[in-house]
């Protein structure tokens, strides 16, 4: 039925096969494609040859498309009917829930374009449910050396009133060619929203201009599924109560609460997943918001959605979590002496340096750890602040340690010693506990 689409893919495959590539380079490209950061990890600042990156993306996309076109008439229909649909699939191919939403016809085409100065922005489409929206956009600039980049997205009602959303996040833009890039904007709310007509305001790097793109949601929202659980799991003597699971097409929200009597503070639920009776899994969100903290003990974890999958049995499985002893959940530093006064057991943080409002420290660990370690900073004078930006580098052939830096614009307002809350840390508790959802 879909001979034309399959023939186009075969032609594309033949073009790739005709390209002469050394075996070693091909191995590197494959590894580049499979090495992906989890959750809110920061990616290594490592530059890869452009042709390797392009080959990897093309190869993975090719495999995905062949499977989807042959296995799903809906995907074949989308590829044929909507120009540029392949770039939408490329942006979300690592999210099983969003891919399933497209397959079940929940992608809405918008195709609104605005032009100003040296940029053209197109709001391509949206996937929406009762709790949020994922918007897909394309930006085309005139200068290949300085592509336009969105810095501040804002969602408003048609009368330009700001909406009370819980989170908004931008994905890393993907280049299509020398002047064009595409990406996503994810917006989520605390509770189901009623508005169906919106204005997306965009601001850009090195520009004071605001570009407004109106759009309307036309498709009906599918009802969310709520499972009241109230079950407890125990991992290395740490109790975690699983309160409920709320499933929407874009993501599954798991509400968990750590027992106050626990001896350790759970920093991150690193390896938690949904598993059905056949072993199919839905893991954590790989891009965008991976969780939200309600209190010191309560969190909401966001997993990929299984909304359109109806298994006989479904379990929530806990395997690995970052955790430190409660008495060691902070790092205290002396700014004047550039000394670490206290830290979690193991002396993993060393060589503290502070210059130009930049806190730099070496992280000694036997595995790569691309997380932003520090949260709130509190000075001895009671002043509080957060870092403006952070960077994680390493390891290299010359230095096996991770290099972590945190820029704090108002660091001078904090009196030494400074207490730094830990958001993530390379210390874990592990197990294999599960909660039955259905």
pTM for the model: 0.78
Whole-Å CA distances, 1 to 4, 73, 104, 178:
8, 9, 19, 36
107-221 architecture in CATH?
Sandwich (2.60)
- Tell me the CA end-to-end span of the chain in Å, nearest whole number: 37
225-321+428-436 CATH fold:
Immunoglobulin-like (2.60.40)
Inter-residue contact 107 to 100 (CB < 8 Å): no
Task: Assess whether the region 107-221 and the region 225-321+428-436 belong to the same CATH fold.
Answer: yes
> Per residue of the chain (438 residues), what is the pLDDT tens digit?
444 444 544 444 444 344 444 443 333 333 333 333 333 333 333 333 333 444 444 444 444 444 554 455 555 555 555 566 788 888 888 899 999 999 999 999 999 999 987 889 999 999 999 999 999 999 998 765 667 788 889 999 888 888 888 889 888 678 888 888 899 999 999 888 889 999 999 998 877 888 999 999 999 999 999 999 999 999 999 999 999 999 999 999 999 999 999 999 999 999 999 999 999 999 998 877 888 889 889 999 999 999 999 999 999 999 999 999 999 999 999 999 999 999 999 999 999 999 999 999 999 988 889 899 999 999 999 999 999 999 998 877 777 789 999 999 999 999 999 999 999 999 999 999 999 999
- Pairwise CA distance, residues 30 & 44, whole Å: 17
Q: Which residues lie below 8 Å from residue 171, measured CB to CB, with a gap of 6+?
A: 91, 183, 184, 185, 186, 287, 288
Domain boundaries along the sequence of the chain: 1-93, 107-221, 225-321+428-436, 327-422
Q: What share of the chain is helix, strand, coil (3-state, %, to 5)?
A: 20, 45, 40
Nearest to 195 by CA among 132, 135, 134: 132
């Amino acid at each position: 039925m879909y001979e034309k689409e399959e023939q186009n893919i075969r032609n594309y495959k033949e073009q790739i096969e005709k390209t002469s590539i050394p075996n070693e380079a091909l191995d590197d490209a494959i590894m580049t494609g499979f090495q992906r950061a989890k959750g809110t990890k920061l990616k290594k600042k490592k530059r890869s040859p452009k042709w390797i990156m392009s080959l990897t993306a093309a190869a993975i996309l090719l495999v995905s498309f062949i499977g989807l076109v042959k296995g799903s008439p809906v995907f074949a229909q989308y590829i044929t009917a909507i120009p540029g649909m392949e770039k939408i699939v490329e942006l979300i191919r690592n999210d099983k829930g969003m891919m399933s939403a497209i397959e079940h016809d929940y992608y809405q085409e918008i195709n609104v374009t605005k032009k100003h100065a040296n940029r053209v922005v197109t709001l391509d489409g949206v996937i929406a449910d009762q709790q949020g929206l994922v918007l897909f956009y394309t930006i085309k600039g005139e200068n290949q050396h300085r592509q336009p980049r969105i810095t501040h997205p804002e969602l408003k009602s048609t009368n330009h009133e700001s909406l009370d959303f819980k989170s908004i996040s931008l994905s890393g833009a993907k280049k299509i060619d020398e002047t064009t890039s595409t990406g996503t904007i994810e917006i989520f709310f605390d509770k189901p929203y009623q508005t169906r007509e919106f204005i997306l305001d965009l601001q850009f790097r090195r520009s004071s201009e605001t570009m407004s793109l109106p759009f309307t949601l036309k498709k009906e929202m599918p009802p969310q599924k709520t499972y009241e659980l109230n079950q407890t799991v125990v991992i290395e003597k740490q109790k975690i109560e699983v309160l409920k699971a709320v499933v929407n097409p874009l993501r599954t929200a798991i509400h968990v609460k750590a027992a106050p009597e626990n001896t350790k503070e759970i920093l991150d639920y690193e390896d938690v997943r949904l598993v059905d009776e056949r072993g199919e899994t839905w893991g954590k969100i790989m891009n965008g918001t991976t969780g939200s903290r309600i209190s010191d003990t309560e969190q909401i974890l966001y997993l990929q959605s299984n909304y359109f999958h109806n298994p006989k049995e479904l379990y929530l499985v806990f395997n690995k979590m970052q955790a430190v002893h409660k008495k060691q959940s902070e790092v205290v530093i002396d700014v004047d002496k550039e000394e670490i006064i206290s830290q979690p057991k193991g002396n993993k943080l060393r060589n503290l340096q502070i210059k130009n409002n930049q806190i730099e420290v070496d992280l000694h660990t036997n595995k790569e750890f691309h997380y932003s370690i520090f949260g709130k900073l509190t000075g001895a004078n009671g002043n509080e602040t957060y870092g403006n930006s952070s960077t994680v580098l390493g390891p290299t052939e010359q230095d096996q340690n991770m290099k972590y830096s945190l820029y704090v614009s108002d660091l001078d307002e904090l009196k030494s010693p400074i207490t730094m809350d830990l958001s993530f840390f390379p210390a874990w508790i592990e197990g294999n506990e599960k909660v039955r959802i259905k």
